[in-house]
Structure 1
Amino acid sequence: MDFFEWLNDQLLRMEWLSQGVKAVLEALGLDLSSRLGGSLHFFIYDVIKIFILLSVLIFIISWIQSYFPPERTRRILGGLQGFRANLAAALLGTITPFCSCSSIPLFIGFTGSGLPLSITFSFLISSPLVDLASLILLAGIFNWSIAIAYVLLGLVLAVLGGALIGALRMEQQIEAFVTRHPVLDLPPEQLQLRDRLRYAAEQVQEIVQRVWMYVLLGVGIGALIHNWIPESVINALIGSDKLWSVPLATLIGIPMYADIFGTLPIAEALVHKGVGLGTVLAFMMAVTALSLPSLIMLRKVVKPPLLAAFFSIITLGIMLIGYLFNAFAYLFL
């Protein structure tokens, strides 16, 4: 157990990096107990740590993803029904791109090829909300129990959310152009190992270029919260004792556009300030699954009644998860 904790601290939390940044800043004459020194340490350490984890995780996940091109994924899902189909869609969503906007083209392809709405929405919910990278990063920022609980509840939300949308029988609420252009049934490309490795490296470059600004912004906000905003102010707004904290955090997260890499530093700072764990996770889920840009893109694909149903089901599900985490936070912290 001690060895596992040491490995977790060194590989995921990167304590060696924290100590190295601390030593450099102190050598430059900065007092890390001051607001400026503490903010610089938080910012530099978190930025380097996140980009290291980001690059390694994207490479591994992209290599795995190379075995699941869209057509193969569609065929796997098309051969399943009921709960198994929703669960498979949610699980396959964990190895797809990291932001909600990137998942919508795949959602269009799956819907256009005739897959039931329940399956395609389980995929759409899971893809930005839960991925293998989120499991590792959450474990690095918090601990493994929080990470596993987050991923499991995210999968439950994806499965139940997709099933509820399917039960509403709103197929007529899909825009006509989607069903007029089904995906061609092409055999998956046979890739060699070097092709898969090249693909993984290209994905690292592409995704880092796409998210670096959000990572810097998220870490910057986290550093600001961590060292400059008084704990009393944060607790007055979204303290763990406030009943409105979870809905407020959810609504605050919706207009933002980021992925889990940009929201984790903010979440880390909020937890350190005493904000409830469920409130923080509800904020993260709202940012990743209900971002305003992704809702605008989804509106181009579905009609308002279906968009409203999707938004309502996921919002209520996120809030329920937030309240559950707040109620049972003592089991995880």
Structure 2
Amino acid sequence: MDIFTALADWLVYGVMGLAPATPLSGALHFFIEDTAKIFVLLALIVFVIGFFRSMLAPERVRKLLGGKNRVFAFPAAVGLGAVTPFCSCSSVPLFIGFLEAGIPLGVTMAFLITSPMINEIAVFLLLSTLGVKFTLVYVATGLTVGLVGGLVIDRLKLEHWVEDYVWKIRMGEAALPDRPHGFIARVGFGVDQVKEIFGRLWLYVLAGIAIGAALHGFVPAEVLLRYAGPDNPLAVPLAVLIGIPLYSNATGTIPVVEALLAKGVPVGTALALMMSIAALSLPEIIMLKKVLKVPLLAIFTAVLAGSFIAVGYLFNAIYG
């Protein structure tokens, strides 16, 4: 029994005096345990990652992808997207900078698809919450979707559906964040990252935990399985459609996925929901509208949604 489970046991069964195995005590236990665990791990992980991320500036990422052949560029874009999940305020300048530097649209898209989906903070939390198997599946599918999505968009030759100003703007006009230098500055950057990311995420993480707690404590397994179980052939596309209007990130979806899996929802359906929330949310689409014309934005959305649905069905078939 870890410290977070012990804390939840003490508060729910000791301080509150609730009986075990009731819907209310189950929901509260889930909420308290996951809130304590995720928030503590989030603070530690964000600080460590922020410290090391300060050594890799967005401008350096742009240079790493520039001037490379296609065979190297796509895997490099996906790999860098997985380890450099810059915030949305950096995404548009990076998009402009990548294209202005001559990096193909498909390579740029591979980076932008992977970046929000493979969040190293979420990966560490997934490992501690859902285990190695689910984490490996999530990371592998996220990398694959980023690579395939970038290749498809590259193959379609859709550069003419990028907003005209993107091709005209100079890289110097796209203000990229500076990176700190020196140990003390990087420690300060790590602390600032904890404050900034907590400020942006805490509400969504709490909302995700609350939804997960409600599912865990009050929603019978048979109800969830009726709509999201293996016997419903439309469960996967429904999960993707439900995920698109939700505004969260991979970190905030972990408690929801945890509760769904515990209730018997298939792995593929849970993966499809998680990926659609992380990489295809309405705020992300609105942000991309600044640089993509409507036809390209529609194709981008369709490619991702189709990929998530395919991944969902595939893993549901694999895991039976």
TM-score (ref. length: structure 1): 0.89
Query: Is 2:236–2:309's contact at 8 Å kept on the other side of the alignment?
Result: yes
Tell me the CA shift for residue 117 of structure 1: 0.5
Helix, strand or coil for the counterpart of 1:184? helix
Residue matched to 1:324: 314
- Aligned ranges 1:17-166 → 2 under 5 Å: 17-28=4-15, 29-97=17-85, 103-166=91-154
Q: How far 1:281 sits from its partner (Å)?
A: 0.8
Q: Percent identity?
A: 42
Partner of 1:8: none
Tell me how far 1:108 sits from its aligned partner.
3.2
Structural mapping, 1:153-302, within 5 Å: 153-184=141-172, 191-302=181-292
Cα deviation for residue 102 of structure 1 reads: 5.8
Q: Distance in 2 between matches of 1:170 and 1:235?
A: 41
Looking at structure 2, the residues matched to 255 and 189 of structure 1 have their Cα atoms a distance apart, in angstroms, of 33
Name the counterpart of 1:3.
Answer: none
For the 8 Å contact 1:104–1:124, the answer to whether it is kept is: no
Residue type of the alignment partner of 2:197: I
Q: How many residues align?
A: 317
Shift of residue 113 of structure 1?
3.5
Read off the aligned partner of 1:174 and give its amino acid letter: V
Partner AA of 1:235 in structure 2: L
User: Following the alignment from structure 2 to structure 1, what is the Cα–Cα distance between the partners of residues 164 and 292?
Assistant: 9
How far, CA to CA, are the matches of 1:214 and 1:127 in structure 2? 19
Deviation at 1:101, TM superposition (A): 6.9
* Corresponding residue SS for 2:171: coil
- Structure 1 residue 133, shift from structure 2 partner: 2.0
Deviation at 1:109, TM superposition (A): 3.1
Partners of 2:179 and 2:245 in 1: CA distance = 38
After TM superposition, the score normalised by the length of structure 2 is 0.93
Distance (whole Å) between structure 2 residues aligned to residue 240 and residue 139 of structure 1: 25
Structure 2: gaps spanning 5 or more residues: none
Residues 291-325 of structure 1: CA deviation (Å, up to 9, x unaligned): 01111111121011111111111111111111121
CA distance in 2 between partners of 1:22 and 1:49 (Å): 14
Unaligned residue ranges in structure 1 (runs of 5+): 1-13
Counterparts of 1:297 and 1:83 in 2: how far apart (Å)? 29
> Deviations for 1:10-37, whole angstroms, at most 9, x for unmatched residues?
xxxx822112220232222122321111
